[in-house]
């Protein structure tokens, strides 16, 4: 009896591991397809082909294209937030430098990856799950920024919450600007964000 139970547990473990790997492969395919042709033009068949499976097989793991993006965007957002949280023990000027590097020099800071982020934000307009994930992401980023301003020598407008709103808008706006405006690149955006934040925190 014990051997049968152990055997069943091993099978279940292998199945779960295979399912997790399949989902990762599907997420990667969605990401790659979106970079190549945009989310709107990407079909379920495209994602399935990129994951080396049939569309009907893919539907065993996800309800559809929207469901894949919802779950993937949730994971990516959480990973971003975890990275940002790692800076929270630093002094304000160090946090600002780390944040600037993360948003404008990090692994997700290239034009294609910024384009993917903008695709997700656009899709969130008409998708309740995506909109909720983005709203949560926005709130946590702003809360993090409030913490930086609270620990700084002085605060722009003498109000950490208002300063956080402005700095978050600046951060997202500069990332978007890099994608659409040929007159600004990531180095420019990094400098503008870093200088503005230091000034707003009374560190310059």
pTM given for the model? 0.86
| Residues 177, 144 share a domain | yes
Would you say residue 85 has pLDDT above 90?
yes
Q: Are 41 and 81 found together in one domain? A: no
Q: Strands, E, within the chain: which ranges? A: none
Mark whether 109 and 202 lie in a shared domain: yes
- Residue 143 domain boundaries: 64-204
| Mean predicted confidence (pLDDT) in 172-194 | 95
* Same domain assignment for residues 93 and 103: yes
Residue 108 pLDDT class (50, 70, 90 cuts):
confident
Answer yes or no: do 55 and 68 share one domain: no
Q: What percent of the chain has pLDDT over 90?
A: 82
pLDDT in tens, 14-65: 677 888 999 999 999 999 999 999 999 999 999 999 999 999 999 999 999 9
Give CA–CA dist 146/151, Å, rounded.
9
My answer on whether 39 and 55 are in the same domain is yes
| Residue whose pair of structure tokens reads 């978007």 in the numeric block | 176
- Do residues 131 and 96 share a domain? yes
Predicted local distance difference test score (pLDDT) of residue 18: 87
What's the Cα-to-Cα distance from 18 to each of 9, 14, 189, rounded to whole Å? 14, 6, 41
- Together in a domain, 58 and 76: no
Q: How far is Cα of residue 31 from the mean position of the Cα atoms in its chain? A: 12
Residues 11 and 25 in one domain: yes
Q: Tell me, what CATH number does 200's domain have?
A: 1.10.357.10
Tally the domains of the chain.
Answer: 2
Both 113 and 154 in one domain: the answer is yes
Q: What angle do CA 143, 107, 91 make, to 5 degrees?
A: 40
What pLDDT shows up at residue 16? 78
Same domain membership, residue 130 and residue 173:
yes
pLDDT of residue 156: 87
**Cα angle value 165/166/172 (rounded, 5°):** 90
CATH of residue 56: 1.10.10.60
Distance (Å) of CA 177 to CA 19, 105, 118 = 38, 15, 11
Residues 55 and 80 in one domain: no
Rounding to the nearest 10 degrees, give the CA dihedral for residues 32, 117, 176, 39: 60
Among 66-75, 109-118, 146-155, 184-193, which stretch is predicted with the lowest mean pLDDT?
109-118
pLDDT for the residue 5: 54
């Amino acid at each position: 009896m014990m051997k049968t139970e152990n055997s069943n547990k091993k099978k279940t473990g292998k199945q779960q591991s295979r399912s997790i790997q399949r989902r990762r492969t599907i997420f990667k395919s969605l990401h790659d397809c979106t970079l190549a042709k945009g989310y709107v033009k990407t079909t379920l068949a495209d994602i399935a082909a990129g994951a080396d499976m049939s569309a009907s097989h893919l539907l065993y793991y996800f309800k559809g294209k929207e469901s894949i993006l919802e779950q993937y965007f949730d994971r990516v957002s959480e990973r971003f937030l975890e990275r940002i949280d790692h800076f929270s023990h630093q002094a304000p000027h160090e946090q600002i430098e780390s944040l600037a590097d993360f948003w404008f020099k990090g692994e997700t800071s290239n034009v294609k990856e910024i384009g993917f982020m903008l695709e997700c934000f656009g899709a969130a307009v008409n998708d309740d799950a995506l909109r909720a994930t983005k709203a949560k992401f926005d709130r946590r980023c702003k809360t993090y920024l409030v913490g930086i301003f609270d620990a700084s020598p002085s605060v722009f407008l003498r109000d950490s919450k208002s300063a956080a709103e402005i700095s978050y808008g600046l951060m997202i706006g500069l990332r978007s600007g890099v994608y659409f405006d040929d007159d600004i690149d990531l180095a420019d955006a990094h400098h503008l964000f870093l200088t503005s934040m230091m000034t707003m925190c009374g560190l310059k």
